[in-house]
A and B are shown apart, each in its own frame.
Chain A
Amino acid sequence: MIFILFYNQGNNEKNNIGKVMKISLSRKKFLRYLFRFNAGLALYNKFLLPQTIPASGYSGQIQAEHWESLSDNKIRCLLCPNKCILSPGQNGLCYSRGNRNGVHYSLVYGLPAIIAQDTIEKSPLYHFYPGISAFSIATSGCNLSCQFCQNWQYSQTGPENVKNFILSPEEVIKKAKKFSIQSINFFYTEPTIYFEYVKAIARLAKKEKLKTVCVTAGYINDKPLGELIELIDAFVFGLKGFDENFYQKYIGCGLEHIKRSLKQLAESKNRIWFEIVNLLVPTLNDNMSTVTEMCSWLAEEVGVNVPLHFTRFEPKHILSELPPTPISTIKKAYSIAKSAGIKHVYIGNLPGHDESNTMCPGCGKTVIERLNFSIIKNIVKRGKCPFCQYQIEGVWV
């Protein structure tokens, strides 16, 4: 019998697709191959196929929010300033939202690619219920393209290329309660792009008196950010630098919009708690005059009570050739921020240094000691310093 196979060859893939190769096979041989193929398939399904890959019938797709229809079944996504215009079948720059027959869908609803149980300090969030445990969750995809991304294997691709868990919002809450986790943290990749999933979980979390935290780069339009502010208890804002060129070249967006989001959060301070994190990347955003400019702006526009974390860069992704941030650079940035009047400045990703402890702004004594995202000692009582009774800024147990 004649059996036809498609084949392609290495680099000349495009040219060879569709070419056919004729192979002669006897019935006996064909049946033998068929049997082997089926046996292999059965074994693969039984032992090798990850159980968490979406089962048939669940695609992770749910109609998206914040978009508008255009002509020819095209749509425009209005979630982030990228404002992707997508033809049917096309996915957005974020890999996680796409046009399906003229309707905009989230492609990652209920399909987290990363789940972990962390301490809240890992976010980093130091003034929000210190020491509580967090259910960290993230889907694949991102609307930015940071060249030093720590989780690029997940952020720079879509759900079809990673192992996903199937986890409905109800299931997330159920698991959090099962393990006595007090907070759900949308972390590791940008939560903006799984906006609908974040909102659904946050609504349920509120009912169950669980806290919610968004760790975001702030590249989101005002309206959806406003909706998140209504639902989320705390934010960690990743301010990646303070230079327009740096943002354009290494992050993939403009700085002005980020500053606007940050101001929007600052205006909602009475409703939410937030802290700012700045990753210092050697040679790219570690210029101390820029750090000085950033700290002055933060003190003036955002407020001196908002904690600022400087974290150490570890060579990752495209910038893996760069060295880790020198300790002295981080310490200089720390001093600059302190001089600018910011009350709570921290250094992160650098275990063993006293600058990761909380010092009372009133008396200067250490009230919380930390190591590696864990609390070693916490003597703050209902937000007050036990030495001078200063009310330390934050949300406390």
Chain B
Amino acid sequence: MKFKINFILLIIFTAVILFVSAEKKISKQEINDWENELNGLGFLVLKSSAVNIINGLNLTREQANALRDLALTIEAMGLPVFQLNTNAIFNETAEIKAAYIKLLEYLNKGLTVPKDFQVMLFNMRRRESEIIKNSVWAAKKINIKNSQCIRCHANPDFFYTGDIAHVETASISTAERRDIDITHVIGIFGQKGTAALADLKGQVDKILSSGQKYILKDFRCCLVPPQDLENSANVGQAFVSDEWLGYFDEVRTCPDDHWNDFRHLFIYPVDDYIASALPGIKRRYRKIMMKNVGNLLDEIKKMDDVDYTLQKKMLCIKLKDALDYDFLVGEDSRTPDERQFLAAMYLLCPGTVPVYDKLIKNIDAAEKAGRGK
């Protein structure tokens, strides 16, 4: 009897062990869906950035026309990856994708993105960052042998269920970073599209002025342009000094007597910013960044009104330096060739032909309205 019970328990135990350790099977369809979703999100961010930079470069009619022609060449290739699936497929990313699609609508219409939508967008961007981090963590854990995206970005079935913010992922070297960038570009544009962009990069370079190339040199993906697109002084950059100035002003409203008690509350939003921009950042780097920001806020608190007003721009630069992550994403180490390629990638991104059409229409309308003849 005792043997019988032990035998049954052994069978149950073995079954449990087998169940727990059994690798979850992922169907080909699931892999394709997840890959499409990841590339779709990447494409939406890229497309929004492209709209911002095209409208922010102060292109002349001739330049806009020439770039439109090149964009048409890419469009004519009908690359399959750009057939964006707008349906909600994964619960984890459905809201994010919907928000990015809505953002594109605003940008395509040339409308100012409402403040509350920007806040929502920031949260979505942060959520996306966490999903990417989680997918990288899960991929390392399950070690899928596959040549597709899922090799590095596991699908949500394998995600860490706790708070991913507290989990550290592996470091990436500059060389690896470059390979990752190339893989991502191929992921969105495919081999054929990437090769076409590489072919056209010289032509794009010839169309642009030296100043426009300088603007594009350090351009990073940016969802929302700094202010509305009508302001020609805005070039669609990701770094927004106006936002930071508002933040500094808030810091200065905190009464001096309470600064030490509330200081951490003022630093907290920066932590959020770091989390969304650099999901994989190491704890020690994050700590250094937070310390730098804290020191800067202390400096801002101590300044008199005149010094603070005079130094506003300098303080924004200091904050940018405190949050500098060039050493992680490697923009500084881009070669001239890579910079040309990236300019072509943004300016010829599929779906930009209507953006050029609208821009040319606006240029014509403004010329018609003026008397500059």
Q: Which residues of A contact B (CB under 8 A)?
A: 46-47, 50-52, 115-117, 135, 165, 167, 171, 175, 178-179, 280, 282-283, 286-288, 312, 314-315, 322-329, 331-333, 349-354, 356-357, 366, 369-372, 376
Verify if B295 is at the interface (C-beta below 8 Å from A): no
B357 CB to closest chain A CB (Å) equals 17
Q: Are A117 and B211 in contact (CB under 8 A)?
A: no
CB proximity of A17 to chain B, nearest CB, Å: 36
Once the chains bind, are B232 and A349 in contact (CB under 8 Å)?
yes
Q: Chain A: which residue is nearest B307 at the CB level?
A: A175
- Bound together, the chains give a CA A314 to CA B231 distance in angstroms of 7
Query: How far, in Å, is B21 (CB) from chain A's closest CB?
Result: 59
Query: Chain B: which residue is nearest A373 at the CB level?
Result: B233
B310 engages A135 (CB within 8 Å): yes
A328 near B60 with CB under 8 A, answer yes
5 A-B pairs with the lowest CB-CB distances in the bound complex, closest first? A329-B372, A282-B370, A352-B211, A352-B212, A326-B366
Contact B233 A351 (CB under 8 A): yes
CA distance A135 to B306 in the complex (A): 11
Tell me how far the C-beta of A311 lies from the nearest C-beta in chain B, rounded to whole angstroms: 10
Instruction: List B residues 289-347 near A (Cβ within 8 Å).
Output: 305-307, 309-314
A167 with B306, Cβ < 8 A, contacts A324-B232, A351-B232, A371-B211 known: yes
- Chain B residues near A175 (CB-CB < 8 A): 306-307, 310
Interface presence of B230 (CB below 8 A): yes
Chain B residues with CB under 8 A of A280: 372
Cross-chain contact of A354 among B61, B211, B231, B306 (Cβ < 8 A) = B211
B30 at the A interface (CB under 8 A):
no
Determine if A351 and B215 form an interchain contact, defined as CB atoms under 8 angstroms apart: yes
Tell me, yes or no, whether B369 is within 8 Å of chain A by CB.
yes
Contacts of B367 in A (CB 8 A): 326, 328-329
Counting chain B CB atoms within 10 Å of each CB, the highest count among A315, A333, A351, A372 belongs to A351
Are A165 and B211 neighbours in the complex by a CB distance under 8 Å?
A: no
* Neighbouring B residues of A331 by C-beta, 8 Å: 60
Which residues of the other chain, B, contact A357 by a CB distance below 8 angstroms? 210-211
**B215/A282 in contact, CB under 8 A:** no
Chain B residues engaging chain A, CB cutoff 8 angstroms: 57-58, 60-61, 209-212, 214-215, 230-233, 235, 253, 255, 305-307, 309-314, 363, 365-367, 369-373
Say which residue of A47, A116, A352 sits within 8 Å of B209 (CB atoms).
Answer: A352
In the docked arrangement, what's the CA distance between A357 and B212, Å? 13
Known: A117-B310, A329-B367. A353 touches B209 (CB 8 A): yes
Q: Are B58 and A350 in contact (CB under 8 A)?
A: yes
- Is the Cβ of A314 less than 8 Å from the Cβ of B307? no
Contact status of A326 and B372, CB under 8 A, knowing A351-B233, A352-B215: yes
Q: A352-B211, A371-B215 are in contact. Are A323 and B60 (CB under 8 A)?
A: no
CA distance A286 to B100 in the complex (A): 40
B195 to chain A, nearest CB (A): 28
Given contacts A327-B363, A349-B233, A372-B233, whether A354 and B209 have CB atoms under 8 Å apart is yes
Known A328-B367, A353-B209; judge A165-B230 contact (CB<8 A).
Answer: no
A72 to B83, CA, bound (A): 83
Q: How far is the CB of A112 from chain B (nearest CB, A)?
A: 9
In angstroms, Cα B118 to Cα A56, docked, is 43
The CA-CA distance from A314 to B234 in the complex, in Å, is 12
For the complex formed, measure the closest distance between the CB of B256 and the CB atoms of chain A, giving whole angstroms.
Answer: 11
Q: Is the CB of A324 within 8 A of B230?
A: yes
User: Measured between alpha carbons, how far is A178 from B303 in the docked complex, in Å?
Assistant: 13
* Option from A116, A314, A349 in Cβ contact (under 8 Å) with B312: A116
Determine the chain A residues whose CB is within 8 A of the CB of B235 once the complex forms: 351-352, 372
- The reply to whether A47 and B312 contact each other, CB–CB distance below 8 Å, is no
Contact A327 B60 (CB under 8 A): yes
Q: Give me 13 A-to-B residue pairs in the complex whose CB atoms sit less than 8 angstroms apart, sorted by A's number.
A: A115-B306, A117-B311, A167-B306, A179-B307, A282-B369, A287-B372, A314-B232, A325-B370, A326-B370, A366-B210, A371-B214, A371-B215, A372-B233
Q: How far is the CA of A352 from the CA of B54 in the complex (A)?
A: 12
Docked Cα-Cα span, A286 to B372, in Å, equals: 5
Complex CA gap A271/B314 in Å reads: 33
A89 to chain B, nearest CB (A): 31
Known contacts A352-B209, A356-B211; is-contact A323 B310 (Cβ 8 Å): no
CA distance A45 to B51 in the complex (A): 47
Give the Cβ gap from A338 to chain B, nearest Cβ, in Å: 16
How far in angstroms is the closest Cβ of chain A from B303? 11
Q: Are B310 and A286 in contact (CB under 8 A)?
A: no
- Least distance between B332 CB and chain A CB atoms (Å): 16
Name which residue of chain A comes closest to B373, CB basis.
A288
Measured CB to CB, the nearest residue on chain A to B369 is A323
Contact of A117 with B363 at beta-carbon distance under 8 Å, contacts A323-B369, A329-B370 already known: no
CB-based contact A117/B232 at 8 Å:
no
Minimum CB–CB distance for B319 against chain A, Å:
16
In the complex, A350 Cα to B58 Cα: how many Å? 7
**Among the listed A165, A315, A351, A366, which residue makes an inter-chain contact with B58, where contact means beta carbons less than 8 Å apart?**
A351
Contact of A323 among B214, B253, B370, B373 (CB under 8 A): B370
CA distance A175 to B212 in the complex (A): 35
- Residues of B near A282 (CB, < 8 A) are 366, 369-372
Contact among A47, A116, A353 with B211 in the assembled complex (CB-CB below 8 Å): A353
Contact B230 A315 (CB under 8 A): yes
Considering the complex, give the chain B residue whose CB is closest to the CB of A372: B233
Most buried by B among A171, A326, A357: A326
